[in-house]
Amino acid sequence: MDNCRILRDGHIHSPYCPHGTKDPFELYIENSLKLGLKEITFTEHMPLPGNFMEPEFLKECAPSQDVIENYIKELESIKDKYKFDIKINIGFEVDFIEGYEAIIKDTLNRYGDKIEDSILSVHFIKVEDEYYCVDVSPDEFGKIVKKLGSVEKVYDSYYETLLKAIKADLGLYKPKRIGHPTLIRIFNTEYPFEYKNRRLLEAIVKEMKINNYEVDFNTAGIRKPYCKEPYPSGILAELVEAYGINIVFGSDAHTALDVGRDFIKYAGELE
């Protein structure tokens, strides 16, 4: 079956994700093989750099250090088991947390030699001295809007943080791919807004170009009930294309069934 020209899924979670499913690696891999994928990266969330928010909440966001050690160990043997069938990369999705750059760099240095592919994502923004997670729920998003005064200001804050992430010194093992760069649109059907600050978006894309970063073309947004579009979209997607930034498809699967999801819809336009 000629089901897709995209042969790689660069953004997949795992049974080690605290907010994901317990689907075993084998199930993700079997589904990848069925789709004809030739290469996949498991990008489990890297342990977070400290308790910058409610610890109970943060525990749900990313695995702890001990758990991530097991993730790497298990993947090393799984990789070997499937080596004749598919290329499997051991990876991380690394959170950029403003103010915690040094700790993030230390964590990356600790695991760097085991990590073959990775993504740098912004899920948290710092407002004054507080941190907010942007993709929890429409209600939580509403709180950020209230705090900052408008949806536009929330977008400003997100994209300013993204620019800082791209410029940050996270050391030798800093990821080369930027995760779901328009994640801030995750609740856009509830908070409709078209962001037009081309100057800031262009600064982001220029910085990606200078540093030779890639973009995670993330199809998870299509499945999100208040989003219905991939990341990136709109002006940012146009700029990514105009600047010739390389894109890597990512399903952001947290369940084996979502591997390679919706790639075919965009394959023709973007490859």
Which residues contact Zn ion by CB under 5 A? 121
Could you tell me the smallest distance in angstroms from the CB atom of residue 84 to Zn ion? Answer: 30
Task: With CA atoms as reference, report the closest residue to 115 among 50, 199, 176.
Answer: 176
Q: Least distance to Zn ion from the beta carbon of 180, Å? A: 6
Report the residue number, 121 or 182, with the smaller CB distance to Zn ion. Answer: 121
Tokens encoding 57: 């909440």
Nearest distance from C-beta of residue 79 to Zn ion, angstroms: 21
Nearest residue to 112 (alpha-carbon basis) of 166, 72, 67: 72
Nearest to Zn ion of 54, 85 (CB atom)? 54
Nearest distance, CB of residue 147 and Zn ion, angstroms: 22
CB 147 within 8 A of CB 87: no
Strand partners, 215: 178, 247
Burial string for 24-60 (b: 16+ CB within 10 Å, else e) reads ebebbbebbeebebeebbbbbbbbbbeebbeeeebee
d(CA 158, CA 161): 5
Q: Which CB sits closer to Zn ion, 89 or 121? A: 121
| Whole-number Å distance between alpha carbons of 183 and 135 | 7
Q: How far apart are CA 232 and CA 182, in angstroms?
A: 5
Q: Which is nearer to Zn ion, 111 or 231 (by Cβ)?
A: 231
Q: If you search the block for the tokens 């084996």, which residue do you land on?
A: 256
CB of 121 to Zn ion, least distance (A): 4
Rounded to an integer, what distance in angstroms lies between the CA atom of residue 18 and that of residue 254?
A: 10
Nearer to Zn ion, 136 or 145 (CB): 136
Q: Judged by CB, which is closer to Zn ion: 33, or 53?
A: 53
Which residue is nearest to Zn ion, using beta carbons? 121
**Nearest distance, CB of residue 252 and Zn ion, angstroms:** 6
